[in-house]
Amino acid sequence: MTELFTTAFVAALISGGILAGMPLLLAALGETVSERSGVLNIGLEGMMLMGGYGGFVVALYTNPWLGLAGGLAAGVLTALIMLVFCVRLGLDQIVVGIALLVTAEGITSVLQRAQFGTTYPRLDAMPVFQIPLLSKIPAFGQSLFSQPLIVYIGFALVVVVHWVLGFTSMGLNLRAAGEKPQALDAAGVSVVATRSVAVLVTGGLGGLGGAYMSIVGAGIFVPFMTHGAGFIAIVIAMLARGRALWVLIGAMLFGMSVSLSTALQLVGVNVPQDVVNMLPFVAVMVALIVFARQAYLPAALGSPYTRGSR
C-alpha cells in the first residue's frame, strides 16, 4: 500500500509540476533572453495574459495548435509596444512594463466578459504523445513521457536558448547588448536591432506560456488567471542568472511546490487551501533569501542606449 502511495505521490508531483511549471518555464526563458540583452521586462505577466486570452479564443474556434500559435503571436504583438517605447524611444522600462501589465489585464477581462459573459467555455484536453519505452518506466515514466507534444517542445526550447545564448554569435551580441551596449555598437552591430529581437522573443515565449496555461493547463480562460506567474518567472530568470538550465530547474521546482498539495492529498495528508496557494510565493521568498546574494544581473540592464550620449 505504502509503495502504491509513493508511486502515486511521485507521479502527481511530476505531472502537476509540469502542468504548473511549463508556463513559468516558457516565460522565464523569454525573460532570460530579454534580460541578457539589457531589457527588464516587467510587463511579462501582461504578455502572458494576452497570449492566454488570444490563444484560448483561437483554440476555441480552430484547434489547440493554432491556439498556441495564436498565443505566441498575441505575445509578440504586445511586445511590439515594449519595443517601440523602450528600445526605440528609450523610455523607462519599468514604467512601460507596468503600464503594459495593467492594460493587458484590463483588455483581456473586458474582452472575455463581452464575448462570453459569465460563462466559461471549456476546451478539450490536448492529446498526449506517449514516448515508447520511456513512458513505461515505473514511477515517473508515465507522468514525464506521456505528455502533450508542446511539453516536449518546451523542454527542447531550454536547450535551444542555452545553445543560442552560449554558443552563437547572436547570443554573444545579445549578452554584449546587456553588458556594454556601446561596445556592441562600436563592433558594428545595431544595439536597437539586437534588443528588439530579444524583446520580441520574450513576448513570443511569454505569450506561449500564457496560452499553455489556458489551453493545455486549465482548458478555460478566466480573467487574471496568470495570478502572478509572470512575476515569479522574472524572479526565476534573475535567480538563474541568465542560464537556461537553471531556469528549467527553477521553474520545475516552483511548479512542484504548486502541485505539492494535490500530491499530499493523494497520500492522505490534508493541507488547508490557503497554505497551498501561499506555497509558491513562500518558495520564491525562500529562494530569494538563500540565493539572491549571488544573483548576477547584466551591467546595462534597464538602461536604454543612445549612441554618443556618454
Partner 1 sequence: MAEVSEVLDLSPAAGEGGTGPLVEVRGITKIFPGVVANDGIDLAVYGGEVHCLLGENGAGKSTLMNILSGMYRPDAGTILVDGAEVQIDSPRVALDLGIGTVYQHPTLIPVFTVLENLVLGQGRGLSMDTKRALAGLKQVAADLGVEIDPRALAGRLALGQQQQVEIVKALWGGSRVLILDEPTSMLTPQGITELEKVLLQLKERGLAIIFITHKLHEALDVGDRVTVLRRGRVVGTLGPEVVRSTSRDELQARIVTMMFGEEAASLAGVAEVRGEVTGHRTARQVSSEVMLELIGVSVEPQRSEIGIRDVSLAVRRGEIVGVAGVDGNGQRELAEAVAGQRSVHTGDVLLAGQSIRHTSVSGRQRMGLRYVTDDRVGEGTVSSLSVATNLILKRIGDGPFWKRGRVCDDAISECATDLVDSFDIRTPTIETSCGTLSGGNLQKVLLARELSFDPRVVVYNKPTHGLDVKTTYAVRDRIRQLAEERQVSALLISTDLEELLDLCDRIAVLFGGRLMGVVENEVGAELEVGRLMVGGDSR
Binding site for partner 1 (CB under 8 A): 164, 167-170, 172-173, 175-176, 179-180, 182-190, 299, 307-308, 310
The DSSP annotation for 48-117 comes to HHHHHHHHHHHHHHS-HHHHHHHHHHHHHHHHHHHIIIIIIS---HHHHHHHHHHHHHHHHHHHHHHHHT
Rounded to the nearest whole angstrom, what is the least distance from the CB of residue 45 to ligand ATP in the complex?
A: 37
- 186 is a site residue for ligand ATP (CB under 6 A): no
Residue found by looking up cell 527588464 in the block: 40
Rounded to the nearest whole angstrom, what is the least distance from the CB of residue 242 to ligand ATP in the complex?
A: 30
Rounded to the nearest whole angstrom, what is the least distance from the CB of residue 309 to ligand ATP in the complex?
A: 6
Q: Which is nearer to partner 1, 59 or 300 (CB)?
A: 300
Q: Which is nearer to ligand ATP, 90 or 223 (CB)?
A: 90
The DSSP annotation for 194-240 comes to HHHHHHHHHHHHHHHHHHIIIIIIISS--TTTTTTHHHHHHHHHHHT
Site for ligand ATP in 279-308 (CB under 6 A): 308
- Decide which of ligand ATP, partner 1, none touches 26; Cβ closer than 5 to 8 Å per partner kind: none
Rounded to the nearest whole angstrom, what is the least distance from the CB of residue 304 to partner 1 in the complex?
A: 13
Q: Which is nearer to partner 1, 36 or 59 (CB)?
A: 36
CB 161 within 8 A of CB 79: no
CB 231 within 8 A of CB 101: no
Name the site residues for ligand ATP (rule: CB under 6 A). Answer: 308, 310
